Amino acid sequence: MANGHCDRAELIGDTEFARPSRPHLRSAIRGRMRFLLLLAPLAACTPLPTELLAEDASASGADGERGPLGADLYTFMAQARVTERMHYEVVVPVGGEAPYPLVTMVHGGFVDTERYRWLTAHLASRGYVVVAAEHPANLAITQIGNSEVALSDFERRPLADRLDADAPAAVMGHSLGGVIAAMTWNTDGRYAGLGLLASFPAAGTAVETRSDGSVLSLWGSEDGGDEEEAMHAVERFDTDANFARIDGMNHYAWTDDASASELGRDGVATRPDDETRPDALRVLDTWLDAVLYEDAGAASALSAGQFANVEWNP
């Protein structure tokens, strides 16, 4: 371990254990004791980060654009269940004054967390800690509690001092991930905001029972999914809920490296991602600043609903 950082190889080494023979029992026990002692620092270790974005003091931080902060990616492993461990990612701001509000991100079906790093890095550069858990087979529906496991594990780590536990938080998800995000928001009061990215809550999620918080549904005009159902779902919420249609955007514009098969099931985007993503982010950034930072200017802009290339509550 150096400067609080360590990796599994450093802690565990290449030690292998087999059932000991009786003459070597004592030395084997000592070896296993040393192994357990080596594992003990895990809780205090922080893996070395991967830089997703460098600090950029010249960045304006205007809605829809990256902020001046850097963004570092950390990957952790947590004990999800008795017989199952899971990885999760945390993207943290670099260069600003911590702590920062939490955004929990839930990936879409059969889409891994890596394909949303463009988005999580963007959010971190604007002053948010983003936690994104992995799920078996890349299906969040298989273990809907993984985001909670990831957050609980992260809160026990030294890096958690970057997280403002007293600030409002938001949970958001893309596609199937939005279904799980809605379930989480509906039962976990720590989340003031629910962001639905090309998604809507399942019919069985009683979102109408929660009367506080804020909901934003972002939908591409060329999304291959059911827009009518997405718009109808917004009407089910008994709280502040808005629907924004992004001109020319399709379903997989939210992900990097969409496959030919994915695009074949999607609508055809009429504008490139480098145009539709900033339009979507302009709305998302405004909403997050209004809800998590309680920014009056952002709240006013959100209320006005005047965003370029966006239909607001059509």
Taking only the tens place, the pLDDT of each residue in 5-33 is 444 333 333 333 344 444 444 554 455 55
Assess contact for 188 and 282: CB atoms under 8 A.
no
pLDDT of residue 27: 53
Strand partners, 106: 173
pLDDT digits (tens, 9 = 90+) for 240-273: 999 999 999 999 999 999 999 999 999 999 999 9
Its pTM stands at 0.85
> Mean pLDDT in the chain?
88
Do 30 and 169 lie in a common domain? no
Percent of the chain residues topping a pLDDT of 70: 86
Which residues, including other chains, have CB under 8 Å from residue 281's CB and lie 6 or more apart? 63, 64, 65, 122
Give the total number of structural domains in the chain.
Answer: 2
Q: Are the CB atoms for 291 and 193 separated by under 8 Å?
A: yes
Query: What pLDDT does residue 7 have?
Result: 41
Q: In terms of domains, do 141 and 14 share one?
A: no
Instruction: State the DSSP H helix or E strand holding residue 94, giving kind and residue range, or none if neither.
Output: strand 84-94
Query: Quick one: pLDDT at residue 34?
Result: 54
CA atoms within 13 A on the CB side of 220: 29
Residue 77: which CATH number?
3.40.50.1820
Residues 145 and 227 in one domain: yes
pLDDT exceeds 90 at position 139:
no
20 and 78 both lie in a single domain:
no
Identify the pLDDT of residue 30: 55
Domain that holds residue 73: 47-312
User: DSSP assignment, residue 238?
Assistant: S
- Dist. CA 199–CA 309, nearest whole Å: 20
pLDDT, tens digit, 9 for 90 and up, residues 62-106: 999 999 999 999 999 998 888 888 999 999 999 999 999 999 999
Are 39 and 160 within one domain? no
Same-domain pairing of 37 and 60:
no
Q: Residue 160 is encoded by which pair of tokens?
A: 């958690």
pLDDT tier at 3 (50, 70, 90 boundaries)? Answer: very low
Query: 39 falls in which pLDDT band (50, 70, 90)?
Result: very low
CA–CA separation, 103 vs 154, rounded Å? Answer: 13
Taken in order 119, 291, 187, 224, the sign of the CA dihedral is: negative
Residues 93 and 155 in one domain: yes
Spatial distance between the Cα atoms of 88 and 38, rounded to a whole number of angstroms: 23
Could you tell me if 85 and 78 are in contact, meaning their C-beta atoms sit under 8 angstroms apart? yes
Indicate if the pLDDT at residue 193 is higher than 50. Answer: yes
Same domain, 18 and 92: no
14 and 149 both lie in a single domain? no
3-state percent helix, strand, coil for the chain, nearest multiple of 5? 40, 25, 40
Instruction: Answer yes or no: do 14 and 145 share one domain.
Output: no
Identify whether residues 19 and 125 lie together within a single domain.
Answer: no
Task: State how far the Cα of 55 lies from the Cα of 50, in Å rounded to an integer.
Answer: 13
User: Nearest CA to 185 among 154, 132, 144?
Assistant: 144
Asked whether residue 9 falls in the same domain as residue 158, the answer is: no
pLDDT, residue 65, reads: 97
